[in-house]
Amino acid sequence: MRFSQIRSYDNYIKANLQLNLLVDSGINCHLKDEHTVTIDPFLSPALGGIKLMVLDTDLSRAQQILESAEDAYIKTLACPGCGSKSLERQALVKLPGWGKRLVDRLRGINESVFSSEIICRSCGRRADDLGQFS
Ligand SMILES: [Zn+2]
Protein backbone atom coordinates (compact mmCIF):
# COMPACT_ATOMS: atom_id res chain seq x y z
CA MET A 1 0.00 0.00 0.00
CA ARG A 2 1.40 3.34 -1.04
CA PHE A 3 0.45 6.58 0.69
CA SER A 4 0.93 10.10 -0.65
CA GLN A 5 0.89 13.40 1.15
CA ILE A 6 -2.25 15.43 0.46
CA ARG A 7 -1.85 18.29 2.99
CA SER A 8 0.60 19.54 5.61
CA TYR A 9 -0.04 21.52 8.77
CA ASP A 10 1.87 23.30 11.50
CA ASN A 11 -1.27 23.07 13.65
CA TYR A 12 -2.32 19.66 15.06
CA ILE A 13 -5.93 20.78 15.62
CA LYS A 14 -6.59 21.41 11.93
CA ALA A 15 -4.59 18.28 11.03
CA ASN A 16 -6.83 16.13 13.24
CA LEU A 17 -10.05 17.83 12.07
CA GLN A 18 -9.22 17.09 8.44
CA LEU A 19 -7.98 13.56 9.29
CA ASN A 20 -11.28 12.79 11.03
CA LEU A 21 -13.27 14.25 8.14
CA LEU A 22 -11.55 11.80 5.78
CA VAL A 23 -11.74 8.83 8.20
CA ASP A 24 -15.49 9.44 8.61
CA SER A 25 -15.79 9.29 4.81
CA GLY A 26 -14.07 5.90 4.70
CA ILE A 27 -10.73 7.18 3.38
CA ASN A 28 -7.62 5.17 4.36
CA CYS A 29 -5.32 7.86 5.80
CA HIS A 30 -3.06 8.80 8.71
CA LEU A 31 -0.96 11.68 10.04
CA LYS A 32 2.83 11.56 9.77
CA ASP A 33 5.20 13.42 12.16
CA GLU A 34 2.27 14.60 14.31
CA HIS A 35 3.92 13.76 17.64
CA THR A 36 7.35 15.15 16.73
CA VAL A 37 5.89 18.46 15.52
CA THR A 38 3.52 18.73 18.51
CA ILE A 39 6.29 18.09 21.07
CA ASP A 40 8.81 20.37 19.35
CA PRO A 41 7.11 22.93 17.04
CA PHE A 42 10.51 24.37 16.11
CA LEU A 43 11.19 21.17 14.17
CA SER A 44 8.06 21.74 12.05
CA PRO A 45 9.75 23.72 9.24
CA ALA A 46 12.57 21.14 9.01
CA LEU A 47 10.14 18.23 8.83
CA GLY A 48 7.64 19.98 6.55
CA GLY A 49 4.96 20.04 9.24
CA ILE A 50 2.39 17.40 10.15
CA LYS A 51 1.59 15.49 6.97
CA LEU A 52 -1.81 14.06 6.05
CA MET A 53 -1.05 10.85 4.16
CA VAL A 54 -3.74 9.21 2.00
CA LEU A 55 -3.78 5.82 0.28
CA ASP A 56 -3.04 6.46 -3.41
CA THR A 57 -6.28 4.86 -4.60
CA ASP A 58 -8.28 7.24 -2.32
CA LEU A 59 -6.38 10.41 -3.33
CA SER A 60 -8.84 12.07 -5.72
CA ARG A 61 -11.86 11.36 -3.49
CA ALA A 62 -9.96 12.71 -0.44
CA GLN A 63 -9.00 15.85 -2.39
CA GLN A 64 -12.66 16.47 -3.32
CA ILE A 65 -13.82 16.00 0.29
CA LEU A 66 -11.20 18.41 1.67
CA GLU A 67 -11.80 21.05 -1.01
CA SER A 68 -15.57 21.04 -0.57
CA ALA A 69 -15.18 21.30 3.24
CA GLU A 70 -12.70 24.20 2.85
CA ASP A 71 -14.97 25.99 0.36
CA ALA A 72 -17.98 25.57 2.68
CA TYR A 73 -15.93 27.03 5.57
CA ILE A 74 -14.79 30.05 3.52
CA LYS A 75 -18.42 30.86 2.65
CA THR A 76 -19.03 31.48 6.38
CA LEU A 77 -16.29 34.16 6.55
CA ALA A 78 -16.38 37.86 5.76
CA CYS A 79 -13.30 39.96 5.01
CA PRO A 80 -12.29 41.91 8.16
CA GLY A 81 -11.06 44.76 5.93
CA CYS A 82 -14.05 45.49 3.72
CA GLY A 83 -16.75 43.12 5.03
CA SER A 84 -17.08 41.47 1.65
CA LYS A 85 -18.11 37.83 1.44
CA SER A 86 -16.32 37.38 -1.88
CA LEU A 87 -13.45 35.32 -0.49
CA GLU A 88 -11.60 32.81 -2.58
CA ARG A 89 -9.28 29.91 -1.68
CA GLN A 90 -5.99 29.50 -3.51
CA ALA A 91 -3.88 26.37 -3.21
CA LEU A 92 -0.21 26.86 -2.45
CA VAL A 93 2.50 24.27 -2.99
CA LYS A 94 5.86 25.06 -1.44
CA LEU A 95 8.64 22.86 -2.76
CA PRO A 96 11.45 21.99 -0.34
CA GLY A 97 15.01 23.12 -1.14
CA TRP A 98 16.96 21.18 -3.77
CA GLY A 99 18.94 19.20 -1.16
CA LYS A 100 15.84 17.91 0.58
CA ARG A 101 14.14 17.26 -2.78
CA LEU A 102 17.12 15.09 -3.78
CA VAL A 103 17.01 13.11 -0.51
CA ASP A 104 13.21 12.76 -0.83
CA ARG A 105 13.62 11.49 -4.38
CA LEU A 106 16.14 8.88 -3.24
CA ARG A 107 13.71 7.83 -0.49
CA GLY A 108 10.86 7.71 -3.04
CA ILE A 109 8.73 10.30 -1.27
CA ASN A 110 7.37 13.74 -2.06
CA GLU A 111 7.11 16.03 0.93
CA SER A 112 6.14 19.32 -0.65
CA VAL A 113 4.21 21.59 1.69
CA PHE A 114 0.57 21.86 0.68
CA SER A 115 -1.49 24.66 2.10
CA SER A 116 -3.91 27.30 0.98
CA GLU A 117 -4.61 30.94 1.56
CA ILE A 118 -7.76 32.98 1.38
CA ILE A 119 -7.89 36.09 -0.78
CA CYS A 120 -10.57 38.78 -0.72
CA ARG A 121 -11.61 39.48 -4.31
CA SER A 122 -12.87 42.95 -3.31
CA CYS A 123 -9.85 44.45 -1.52
CA GLY A 124 -7.07 41.88 -2.14
CA ARG A 125 -6.42 41.13 1.54
CA ARG A 126 -4.84 37.73 2.22
CA ALA A 127 -5.21 35.26 5.07
CA ASP A 128 -3.68 31.91 5.97
CA ASP A 129 -5.77 28.79 5.74
CA LEU A 130 -7.28 29.25 9.21
CA GLY A 131 -8.94 32.46 8.14
CA GLN A 132 -6.63 34.73 10.14
CA PHE A 133 -6.26 37.86 8.06
CA SER A 134 -3.02 39.84 8.26
ZN1 LIG B 1 -11.79 42.67 1.60
* Alpha helices (H) in 10-111, listed in sequence order: 12-24, 34-39, 44-47, 59-74, 98-107
d(CA 9, ligand 1 centre) in Å: 25
Residue 14 lies in a domain: yes
Cα of 72 from ligand 1 centre, angstroms: 18
Cα separation of 6 and 125, whole Å? 26
How far apart are the CA of 14 and the centre of ligand 1, in A? 24
Cα–ligand 1 centroid distance for 117 (angstroms):
14
Total domain count for the chain? Answer: 1
Distances 87 to 14, 17, 18, 65 between C-alpha atoms, Å: 20, 22, 21, 19
Query: Could you tell me the pTM of the whole model?
Result: 0.71
At 5, the amino acid letter reads Q
**CA 61 to centroid of ligand 1, rounded, Å:** 32
Say if 27 falls within a structural domain: yes
- The verdict on residue 84 lying in a domain is yes
Percent of the chain with pLDDT over 90: 34
Residue-wise pLDDT tens digits, 50-90: 899 999 999 999 999 998 998 888 889 889 889 999 998 88
Confidence of residue 114 (pLDDT cuts 50, 70, 90): low
What is the C-alpha separation between 125 and 20, in angstroms, rounded?
30
Mean model confidence pLDDT for the chain:
83
pLDDT band, very low/low/confident/very high, at 26 (cuts 50, 70, 90): very high
Residue 33 has pLDDT above 60, yes or no: yes
Residue 125 buriedness (CB in 10 A; 0-12 / 13-18 / 19+): middle
Residue 115 lies in domain: 3-127
- Flag whether 26 is in a domain: yes
Residue 120 lies in a domain: yes
Task: Evaluate if residue 44 carries a pLDDT over 80.
Answer: no
Residue 53, pLDDT score:
94
Domain assignment present for residue 132? The answer is no
Q: How large is the average pLDDT for residues 7-24?
A: 91
Residue 134 lies in a domain: no
Task: Examine residue 133 and state whether it is found in any structural domain, yes or no.
Answer: no
